[in-house]
Amino acid sequence: MTKYIAKRILMALLTLFIITFVLFVLIRIMPGNPFPVERMSAEMIAQKRLELGLDKPILEQFADYLKLLASGSFGNGTSLYNGAPIKPILIKCLENSFKIGVLSILFGTVVGMLIGIVAAMHKGKFLDGLCTVISILGVCIPSYVFMIFLQYFFSYKIPFFPYFFDSSRFLFSSIMPALSLSLLAISIIARFTRNEMVEVMNSDYVKLAEAKGLYGWELIRKHILRNALIPIVTVIAPLVVDLLTGAMVIEKIYGINGVGKLMVDAIAGQGVDYNYVLALGIVFSAMYICAMLVLDILYGIIDPRISLTAKDG
């Protein structure tokens, strides 16, 4: 296992390198300049590109960028926050998005699995139907619409939560965005948990366990949940990455300085900020790759029948 993990980590680094290169090239193909060109003449644009080293061959530019990365810097912004170093701003935004993301994952997983379990145990009955409706509503109502409702009722009608994000009361003002972000996670997890559990509950080994006299929570935990977990973990992993990488619209509504907003500003702002898009792309990919790595390792732990190291299928 250790050897496998070491190999995977090495592989992950290689993947990250390829991703960096692919992103680096793709971003340069994107329409738009890396700086705002409003009322800039052609000569001025050419001059600015020269200053930024964009006239060099692309491989040379990439080598320069790798050197920057190796020195522990993501370089400076080009249009978004003109010329300021990226790292401190990135860290601040990641911190904000992360904290809210973790909260919503926690909430989404717990509530989602509970709903799923309750529904599976009452399959075909009223509670099951109710849970289905909840999980369907959760996917149909965009999280930002839900956010507005929360804001309207719990900040305006009943002024309990702050109306906008307030970094000095971080946890308190994170509740509403985390709740609205977790809505989708709750729906998806509840749905998958229910369906997987129903399937497992039908299997012979569960029937055997029941025949042996196991019942209730013990049965669910030891026999059903464990077997139903694989597909559930599979949906949770990408959700985690999604939630951690921020939600642009919610960040905008609630006034949170987060990475979701940062990414959209970097791509759809006055200029395509090459360095911000790259930095965010690299960070997001690293997170994604980590999640996938953990996922593969988890498969093995949850279900010992699965061996990823096997040579042939």
Partner 1 sequence: MKKFLILTLLTLALFITGCGEDSADNNTLKVMLGSNVVSLDSAQATDLVSFELIADCIDGLTQLDAKGNAIPAIAESYDISEDGKTYTFHLRDANWANGDEVTAEDFVFAWRRHCLESTKYAYIMGAGVANIKNADAVTKKEADPSTLGVSAPNAKTLVVELTAPVSYFPALMTFPAFYPINEKFYNTLAAGTYGTSPETFLSNGAFMLTEYLPGSANIQLKKNDSYWKAENIMLQQLHYQVVSSSDNALTAFKNKTLDLVGIGGNQIASVKGDAELSKNLKIIPTGLLQYLSFNQDPKNHHAGALANVNLRLAISNAIDRESLVNNFVDNGSRATYTAVPLNFAPNAETGKYFAENQQQFSEFVSFDVEKANRFFDAAKAELGQDTFDLEFIYANDGGDTVIKVVQAIKEQIEKNLPGVTLNLQPMPKAEYLDRMTTNSYDIAITNWAPDYDDPMTFLTLWTTEGSEIAEHWSNADYDKIIADCTTGALAANYNARWNAMYDAEKILLENAVIAPLYTNASAYLIDDKAKGVEFHSVAIERVFKNVK
Partner 2 sequence: MEKIYTPQKEDFEFIEGRNINVDTNFASQGYWRGVFVHFTKNKFAMTGVFLVAVIMIFAIFAPMFSSYAYDEIISVTDTSGKEIVAKALEPQFAGGAENLFADKTFIFGTDDVGRDLWTRTWQGARVSLIIAFVAIFIDMLIGTSYGLISGFFGGAVDNILQRFIEIAGSIPTLVIISILAIFMDKGIGLVIAALLITEWIGMSKIARAECLKLKEREYVLASRTLGAGSFHIIFTQILPNTIGPIITQVMFSIPVAIFTEAFLSFVGVGIVLPQCSIGSLIEAGFGNITILPYQILPPITVLAILMLGFNLIGDGFREALAPKLENM
Query: Which partner in partner 1, partner 2, none is near 36 (CB below 5 to 8 A by kind)?
Result: partner 1
Task: List the structure tokens of 53.
Answer: 């080293």
Q: Which helix (H) or strand (E) holds 72?
A: none
By the 8 A CB rule, do 161 and 83 touch? Answer: no
Number of residues interacting with partner 2: please give it, by CB under 8 A. Answer: 67
C-alpha span between 254 and 176 (Å, rounded): 9
Residue 222: count of CB within 10 angstroms of its CB? 12
| C-alpha dist (Å) from residue 28 to 17, 24, 49, 213, 275 | 17, 7, 12, 65, 11
Residue 179, SS3? helix
Q: Exactly one of 45, 137, 208, 294 binds partner 2 (CB under 8 A); which one?
A: 137
Task: List the structure tokens of 235.
Answer: 């949906």
Query: Which partner in partner 2, partner 1, none is near 5 (CB below 5 to 8 A by kind)?
Result: none
Give 85's strand partners.
76
CA 268 to chain centre: 20
Query: Which partner in partner 2, partner 1, none is near 263 (CB below 5 to 8 A by kind)?
Result: partner 2
Query: Which partner in partner 2, partner 1, none is near 269 (CB below 5 to 8 A by kind)?
Result: partner 1
Q: Exactly one of 9, 45, 67, 231 binds partner 2 (CB under 8 A); which one?
A: 231
Query: Which partner in partner 1, partner 2, none is near 262 (CB below 5 to 8 A by kind)?
Result: partner 1
Q: Which is nearer to partner 2, 40 or 141 (CB)?
A: 141
Chain residues binding partner 1 by CB under 8 A are 31-33, 35-42, 44-45, 48, 76-77, 79-85, 89, 92, 103, 106-107, 109-110, 113, 148, 151-152, 155-156, 159, 162-167, 169-172, 175, 221, 252-253, 255-257, 261-262, 265, 267-272
